[in-house]
Amino acid sequence: FETVPRSVTFTPSSGYSAGTPGNTIYIDNVPVSAGTGDNTTADGKLAGLLKLRDGVASTMQSQLDEIARGLITAFAETAPSQPNATGLFTWSGAPAIPPAGTLVDGLAGSISVNAAFDPSAGGNPALLRDGGANTGGGASYADLLIGYGNKLDQPMAFDTSTGIAVSSGVSDYAANAIGWFEGVRQQASTNADNKQALAARTAEALSNDTGVNIDQEMSLLLDLEHTYQASAHMMKTVGDMLDSLLAAVG
């Protein structure tokens, strides 16, 4: 690999619809794996980008789809003898509301304000306040608005495949989605720090066994210097003794 670059191949797509997995990247005809789990054993920038594309981004997309489904459900029009229908928010499957507890891929990209409530589309925004109950058009009628606010906080069923298994209202679910992403970021940062520390320790151990350890060499040099000083002192002592002996004989 020093003279010939490795072959990296990838078949791009013009676009990805919601829920569509990305194509595989090959290096020397071997597929690149993003690994599994937060503390993955995969390495390299490509593996990290694959983990982000196929794992984190896909899960975040599902969470946004569930938030959109929760909004459609919370603002649905209700009638005692009829099934619930889309209200302030609508989607491609209107007038029915999305099934409870079931992920609808791409819903966050198709949710929109119902034209019946949109003045720019000829709608009447007062319908959000009045519905079919405020027949007199009373400006102080707030029962429906209060009910919508309560529904945003009422627990509803969410698809557990989105990584958030806690039953909660739409508002809390949105907050949990942000918390989930922060948890993933923090865990990834912790794992990266641990692996960097492990790599540094491994490199240090390898250098100690196969290379020159400056600290160890300096310690040995000091030991040698101390030994030389002791030997020189001993030689001086022996020399003084010989000089004294020769002086006594002479």
Confidence of residue 66 (pLDDT cuts 50, 70, 90): very high
φ/ψ of residue 28, rounded to 5: 55, 40
| Cα–Cα separations (whole angstroms), residue 183 to 56, 59, 164, 179, 196 | 11, 13, 12, 6, 20
Q: What is the pLDDT of residue 119?
A: 92
Mean pLDDT of 201-209: 83
For 114-128, what is each residue's pLDDT tens digit? Answer: 998 899 999 888 888
H or E, element range at 190: helix 170-210
Asked whether the predicted pLDDT for residue 38 surpasses 80, the reply is no
Q: What is the pLDDT of residue 130?
A: 84
Q: Any idea where the domains of the chain sit in the sequence?
A: 63-178, 216-249
CA distance 67 to 181: 15
Are 88 and 114 in contact by the 8 Å Cβ rule? The answer is: yes
Mean pLDDT of 50-73: 92
- Looking at every residue in the chain, the average pLDDT score rounds to 86
**78-92, 132-146, 188-202, 236-250: range with lowest mean pLDDT:** 132-146
- Token pair for 14: 């013009």
DSSP for 84-102, written as a single string: EE--SEE-TTTTBPPPTT-
Percent of the chain with pLDDT over 90: 32
| Cα–Cα separations (whole angstroms), residue 1 to 5, 11, 43 | 6, 23, 18
Q: What is the pLDDT of residue 62?
A: 94
